[in-house]
Amino acid sequence: MQTTHIRNQLHLRRTKVGFLFLALFGITVSGFSQGLFGLTSTSGSDDKTISYGFFLAGHTATYQIKYSEALFDPTHTANNQVYSIYPKYTPGLSLGFTGILRLHDQVNILLTPKIAFYEYRVDVNYYDTYDVALPDGTPSLGYRTEELVNEATMVEIPLLFKYRSQRFNNTRMYFIGGGSYQFRTKSQDEANLDPIVTKGQDFSIEAGMGFEIYFKYFKFAPEIRFSHGLNNIYYAEKTPAEIRDVISSVKRKGITIYLNFQ
């Protein structure tokens, strides 16, 4: 009897709970729509000469590896060991702050220092000998694959030029591009223990596009940006001998999705 009593109470109050939920949902949607589609939003500090923000980002990055002539030289010992090297895109995260200098309503200069966590994975395929021999008695050749992993925490300081379209209601489209200085947080002595040894400093070019969306109390800007390292960061002298001579150049490149808040 007690269970039935509780069920009846819930049944009587179900209509009131439903009305309360709909009222709260309506208030939330109303506030959201005013900030996004109405003309009430003045957030984003567009009229200030200097303004600030922050961002969270997810990226996928890889090495761009160039073979050396030794890989194609049949007399070189490396040619008898390494068959190929395949860098792979690997995800990571970054976060940072944005400083904005307003030159014009549609033209800004951005300084966006950030800390980024990278993982670089490379598959190295080595020649290997199978136990099964060919009909003429010679050993059957194949290859084995070994995955090499480099981890790096980088401090990056991009200086970017941003061109925005004119504001339409509470949205804008923009293009962004510039350069970035990067340095690794761990010492070179620590990096010398990596399977592919790289130098700790680099410069890159960056370019991308995004949308600014004005809400009632802030501005949100999703963005996609591409980056490409300019320096050859390969440190051949410290790389293990079995792959050292088959690589002539290593550069960084990546694709990043930014979630900017201002």
CA angle 107, 112, 118 (to 5 degrees): 135
Task: Write the CATH number of the domain with boundaries 45-261.
Answer: 2.40.160.20
Amino acid present at 12: L
Q: Give the Cα separation of 113 and 97 in Å (integer).
A: 6
CB atoms under 10 Å from CB of 35, counted, come to 20
CB 122 within 8 A of CB 85: yes
Query: What's the pTM?
Result: 0.77
Token readout for 217 is 């109390």
Domain boundaries, the chain: 1-36, 45-261
Print pLDDT tens along the chain (262 aa): 444 444 444 444 444 444 454 444 444 444 444 445 555 465 556 788 899 999 999 999 999 999 888 777 766 655 568 888 999 999 999 999 999 999 999 999 999 999 999 999 999 988 775 544 455 555 556 678 889 999 999 999 999 999 999 988 889 999 999 999 999 999 999 999 999 999 999 999 999 999 999 988 889 999 999 999 999 999 999 888 888 888 999 999 999 999 999 8
Q: Give the Cα separation of 88 and 120 in Å (integer).
A: 7
Closest listed residue to residue 48, CA positions, set 120, 128, 3, 103:
103
